[in-house]
């Protein structure tokens, strides 16, 4: 793909901006994971005269120890954030034979190594997302792994539509795979079933047009059973047999979740800066923040996931 053929402004930053042909290692023979990472780190350090290759390698292994970075079939994306870097660095290694990268996962033919400055989580996450999006099509991986020229690989990334702006949006860090939702016409029984099956404490509720109308939480269910005026009592021991729950247990099938929908939930728009996600977590003392595209549910960000993205990813 010729970069000039895309509609993208050629001055915009992409993954290719941080990639040099000299950082691409083609068709290496049989290698272990550690050998492959060592070669990539050594190449980056020698081409760009980066000090501390050993520390760079250790940072990658430490990240792998927290969880492997195989992002799709045949692709691994080992990455780390380092305090002494001034800009991001990307290196690529292809292997026709495939490399056993993580236990229980198939061999990878494409390893993309990424280092970014510690103080720039936004650019780190955007490059990760840009690479993941560019390789979403499984055929792309096979095509890239079969290239014989670093130039061809560089052209592939230069032609990608995924830009790296430097400021992180909510959409960049949301989880948008299969989203479990409830419908506003569902019964209380179904809501309780789903909450217990999925072992979650909150579920989004959408209407028949896909508009998000609120959330159902375990807390809201409990509040129906134990309203505020019962909590005034310091000693609840007279209710030894869960008497407050009797009404709900009796009526859960013919009660609508409309009774427990909370319309005041943590949410941001896809284009809102990621910092507004943090603000929603703090402001609402929430654990889950929903990402909306207009009024439609686009994704979800859970607090531990958010913290991992910002501080550890």
Residue 276 in contact with another protein, rule: CB under 8 A: yes
Shortest CA distance to 48 belongs to which of 88, 93, 92? 88
Near another protein in 148-177, by CB under 8 A: none
Nearer to another protein, 13 or 276 (CB): 276
Shortest CA distance to 290 belongs to which of 304, 302, 305? 302
Which range of residues in 88-96, 199-207, 211-219, 265-273 is near another protein by CB under 8 A? Answer: 265-273
What CA–CA distances, in Å, run from 18 to 24, 158, 281? Answer: 12, 10, 33
Distance in angstroms (rounded) separating the CA atoms of residues 171 and 205: 20
Residue 103 in contact with another protein, rule: CB under 8 A: no
Torsions phi, psi for 271 (to 5 deg):
-90, 0
Nearer to another protein, 11 or 254 (CB): 254
Instruction: Identify the H or E element spanning 20.
Output: strand 19-25
Of 255, 302, 303, 308, the one binding another protein (CB under 8 A) is 255
Size of the site for another protein (CB under 8 A): 34
Of 51, 139, 229, 285, the one binding another protein (CB under 8 A) is 229
Of 280, 286, 298, 306, the one binding another protein (CB under 8 A) is 280
Residue 238 in contact with another protein, rule: CB under 8 A: yes
Q: How far is the CB of 251 from another protein (least distance, A)?
A: 6
Residue 272 in contact with another protein, rule: CB under 8 A: yes
What is the token pair recorded at 157?
Answer: 């990334």
Q: Are 109 and 74 in contact (CB under 8 A)?
A: yes
Q: Are 94 and 27 in contact (CB under 8 A)?
A: yes
Q: How far is the CB of 264 from another protein (least distance, A)?
A: 7
Q: Are 136 and 72 in contact (CB under 8 A)?
A: yes
Distance in angstroms (rounded) separating the CA atoms of residues 155 and 83: 30
What is the token pair recorded at 39?
Answer: 């070669």
Residue 243 in contact with another protein, rule: CB under 8 A: yes
Tokens 């539509």 correspond to 161
Residue 275 in contact with another protein, rule: CB under 8 A: yes
Residue 230 in contact with another protein, rule: CB under 8 A: yes
The 8-class DSSP code of residue 310 comes to I
Q: How far is the CB of 170 from another protein (least distance, A)?
A: 9
Residue 220 in contact with another protein, rule: CB under 8 A: no
Residue 278 in contact with another protein, rule: CB under 8 A: no
Residues making contact with another protein (CB under 8 A): 224-230, 232-235, 238-239, 243-248, 251, 254-255, 258-259, 264, 267-269, 272-273, 275-276, 279-280
């Amino acid at each position: 793909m010729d970069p000039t053929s895309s509609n993208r402004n050629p001055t915009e930053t992409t993954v290719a901006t941080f990639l040099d042909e000299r950082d691409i290692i083609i068709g290496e023979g049989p290698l272990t994971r550690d050998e492959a990472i060592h070669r990539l780190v050594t190449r980056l350090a020698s081409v760009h005269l980066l000090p501390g290759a050993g520390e760079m390698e250790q940072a990658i292994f430490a990240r792998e120890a927290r969880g492997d970075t195989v992002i799709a079939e045949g692709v691994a994306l080992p990455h780390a954030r380092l305090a002494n870097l001034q800009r991001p660095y990307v290196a690529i290694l292809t292997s026709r034979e495939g490399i056993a990268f993580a236990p229980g996962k198939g061999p990878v033919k494409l390893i993309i190594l990424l280092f970014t400055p510690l103080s720039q989580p936004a650019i780190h996450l955007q490059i990760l997302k840009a690479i993941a999006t560019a390789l979403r099509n499984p055929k792309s991986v096979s095509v890239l792994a079969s290239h014989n020229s670093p130039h061809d690989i560089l052209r592939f990334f230069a032609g990608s539509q995924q830009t790296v702006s430097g400021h992180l949006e909510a959409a960049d860090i949301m989880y948008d795979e299969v989203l479990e939702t409830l419908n506003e016409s569902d019964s209380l029984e179904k809501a309780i079933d789903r909450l217990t099956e999925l072992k979650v404490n909150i579920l989004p509720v959408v209407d028949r047009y896909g508009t998000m109308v609120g959330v159902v939480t375990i807390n809201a269910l409990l509040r129906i059973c134990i309203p505020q005026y019962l909590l005034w009592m310091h000693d609840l021991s007279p209710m030894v047999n869960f008497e407050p729950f009797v009404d709900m247990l009796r009526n859960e099938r013919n009660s609508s979740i409309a009774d427990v929908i909370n319309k005041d939930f943590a949410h941001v728009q896809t284009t809102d800066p990621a910092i507004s996600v943090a603000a929603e977590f703090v402001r609402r003392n929430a654990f889950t923040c929903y990402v909306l595209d207009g009024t439609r549910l686009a994704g979800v960000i859970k607090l531990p996931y958010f913290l991992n993205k910002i501080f550890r990813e």
